[in-house]
């Protein structure tokens, strides 16, 4: 059984950048729904229930066909959102990690250029999906996935993910996705991003 993780902070903790009502619905309804549907899909496959969520997503092609789409959508949704909550912190943290800064500079030119690329990727994602910073072997890459597809399904390691489904911002920002993305940068927990890069 997969479990809905706690946020680690209160619903209103990310105000004014991300509003409390959005956080409450996003965590308690959307994320909880992915977890419930994932568990329901795995009910008749006990051997899959003991896998970590990463193992499950990494082996998505081996998941029985009758539940593969359900696992892709809801398993992806579970992992993506868990990573998303952990990637934010009230007030954000400073980007002072030298190894992370060096890696971003080597790949994108500078931290600002990385942010611009991630922002552009998030804003231009058509419809529902995610913008990602991923590690693929020795290289870093920014790209996006549709729906709840996880980079893990493609053998990539998600380092930072930004949810650009409308449910992530519509109550406060309506159609103004660029404003939401700009606000989100204010609450990024770079400590966690740096840790992911090191593993």
- Binding residues for Mn ion, rule: CB under 5 A, are 163, 165, 168
Pairing between strand 157-163 and 139-146? unpaired
Whichever of 149 and 163 has its CB closer to Mn ion, that residue is: 163
Shortest gap between Cβ of 162 and Mn ion (angstroms)?
A: 10
Distance CA 164, CA 176 (A): 11
In 10 A of CB 37, how many CB atoms?
17
Whichever of 115 and 161 has its CB closer to Mn ion, that residue is: 161
Q: Which residue is nearest to Mn ion (CB)?
A: 163
Shortest gap between Cβ of 98 and Mn ion (angstroms)?
A: 32
Shortest gap between Cβ of 128 and Mn ion (angstroms)?
A: 9
Whichever of 114 and 169 has its CB closer to Mn ion, that residue is: 169
Shortest gap between Cβ of 69 and Mn ion (angstroms)?
A: 18
Shortest gap between Cβ of 107 and Mn ion (angstroms)?
A: 27
Distance CA 135, CA 139 (A): 6
Whichever of 108 and 121 has its CB closer to Mn ion, that residue is: 121
Whichever of 29 and 176 has its CB closer to Mn ion, that residue is: 29
Whichever of 14 and 48 has its CB closer to Mn ion, that residue is: 14
Shortest gap between Cβ of 168 and Mn ion (angstroms)?
A: 5
**Side-chain-facing half-sphere of 174: CA atoms under 13 Å:** 0
In 10 A of CB 52, how many CB atoms?
10
* Residue of 165, 157, 168, 149 whose CA lies nearest to 198: 157
Distance CA 131, CA 151 (A): 10
Helices (H), the chain: 20-25, 32-41, 46-49, 53-58, 65-70, 76-86, 98-108, 111-124, 170-173, 177-184, 190-198
């Amino acid at each position: 059984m997969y479990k809905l993780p706690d946020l680690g902070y209160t619903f209103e903790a990310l105000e004014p950048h991300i509003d409390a009502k959005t956080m409450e619905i996003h965590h308690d309804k959307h994320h909880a729904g992915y977890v419930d549907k994932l568990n329901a899909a795995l009910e008749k496959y006990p051997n899959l229930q003991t896998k970590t969520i990463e193992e499950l997503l990494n082996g998505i092609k081996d998941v029985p066909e009758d539940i593969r789409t359900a696992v892709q959508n809801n398993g992806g949704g579970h992992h993506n959102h868990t990573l998303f909550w952990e990637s934010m912190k009230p007030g954000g943290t400073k980007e002072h990690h030298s190894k992370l800064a060096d890696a971003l500079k080597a790949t994108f030119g500078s931290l600002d250029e990385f942010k611009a690329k991630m922002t552009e990727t998030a804003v231009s994602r058509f419809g529902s999906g995610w913008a990602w910073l991923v590690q693929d072997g020795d290289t870093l890459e920014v790209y996006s996935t549709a729906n709840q597809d996880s980079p893990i399904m493609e053998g990539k390691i998600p380092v930072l993910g930004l949810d650009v489904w409308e449910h992530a911002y519509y109550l406060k920002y309506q159609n103004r996705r660029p404003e939401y993305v700009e606000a989100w940068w204010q609450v990024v927990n770079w400590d966690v991003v740096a840790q992911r890069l090191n593993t």
